[in-house]
Structure 1
Amino acid sequence: MQDISGLPKEGQQLINSYGEGGFRVSGVRHEGSVIVFPDETASWSVADLGELTLESLNTVMQAVPPVEILLIGCGASMGFIDDSIRRPLRDKGITIDSMDSGAAARTYNVLLLEGRRVAAALIAQ
């Protein structure tokens, strides 16, 4: 596993490591894919980028406070997000960026520690 720890504020969800089919977030191991918000981490049913739908991102679109930046971790390699998903998110004021899951986890941590309203939807690798 790759260690990517930092110093979060009390209660913030920092991604500590990734790999081996899951993620360690704030010291808790999560098997499979997850969506990480600044204050909580939830299981995510998407196991492959081809399964990504707008409905699978419903919790992100309904988050309070609203998410400004959504990072999609596509698994072992970067993939592209279809405009049918990207456009409705943009219309809600959410910027979306896709990259491999490791890069998304690291970027999430940086943005979180900067105080940004970020979420990461991460496909396990």
Structure 2
Amino acid sequence: MDISPMVPKDRKLIEGYGAEGFRIAGTLYAGSVLLMRDRVLEWDVTAMDELTIDRLEPLFGDASDLEILLLGCGLQGVLPPKELRLAVRERGPVLDSMDSGAACRTYNVLLAEERRVAAALILPRPETR
């Protein structure tokens, strides 16, 4: 039995994720990504302490109707600073942060429900010491 979510063909469904990258609509992205329903942008953020509202700006350009922004924080969910949450909210969407795996799964569910969702996903890479 096929349990794949029913999404329009032009939507960017996340097919897999891990330390090697994110597989989205048949393409492997080896680093962090900004993901919208119809496009994927490579993103140079590798950790939460690098995150600013400016680094999220590409999501707000033509996405004025964005309802939910999922923030995949890497291996562990982290509450972003209040200033960042407020700055995102001023642009329209609600910011929901969680680990990147949970953000991928949540994104797919919301995409299948035709919600106006985007995701900023930090690659879930184990820290090396």
TM-score by length of structure 1 reads: 0.92
87-96 vs 59-68, which moves further: 59-68
Q: 1:89 to 1:18 in 2, by over 3 A?
A: same
Question: What is the SS of the residue equivalent to 1:93?
Answer: coil
CA distance in 2: counterparts of 1:26 and 1:14, whole angstroms:
5
Residue 69 of structure 2 contacts residue 120 of structure 2 at CA under 8 Å; is this kept in 1? yes
TM-score by length of structure 2 reads: 0.89
CA distance in 2: counterparts of 1:65 and 1:27, whole angstroms:
27
- Per the alignment, residue 99 of structure 1 pairs with 98
Note the C-alpha offset of 1:65: 5.0
Q: Which amino acid aligns with 2:51?
A: L
Q: Which consecutive aligned stretches of 4+ in structure 1 deviate over 6 angstroms post-superposition? A: none
CA distance in 1: counterparts of 2:60 and 2:116, whole angstroms:
12
Structure whose CA Rg is larger: 2
- Per the alignment, residue 36 of structure 1 pairs with 35
Q: Which amino acid aligns with 1:122?
A: L
CA distance in 1: counterparts of 2:117 and 2:37, whole angstroms:
7
CA distance in 2: counterparts of 1:65 and 1:5, whole angstroms:
29
Aligned length: 122
Does residue 55 in structure 1 map to residue 49 in structure 2? Answer: no
Question: What is the SS of the residue equivalent to 1:24?
Answer: strand
Give ranges in structure 2 of 5+ residues lacking alignment. Answer: 125-129
Q: Which amino acid aligns with 1:15?
A: I
Q: Which amino acid aligns with 1:61?
A: F
Does residue 9 in structure 1 map to residue 26 in structure 2? Answer: no
Question: What is the SS of the residue equivalent to 1:110?
Answer: helix
Residue 69 of structure 2 contacts residue 96 of structure 2 at CA under 8 Å; is this kept in 1? yes
Note the C-alpha offset of 1:60: 1.3
Question: What is the SS of the residue equivalent to 2:29?
Answer: strand
Q: Which amino acid aligns with 1:68?
A: E
CA distance in 1: counterparts of 2:58 and 2:4, whole angstroms:
25
70-79 vs 20-29, which moves further: 20-29
Question: What is the SS of the residue equivalent to 2:9?
Answer: coil
Question: What is the SS of the residue equivalent to 2:71?
Answer: strand
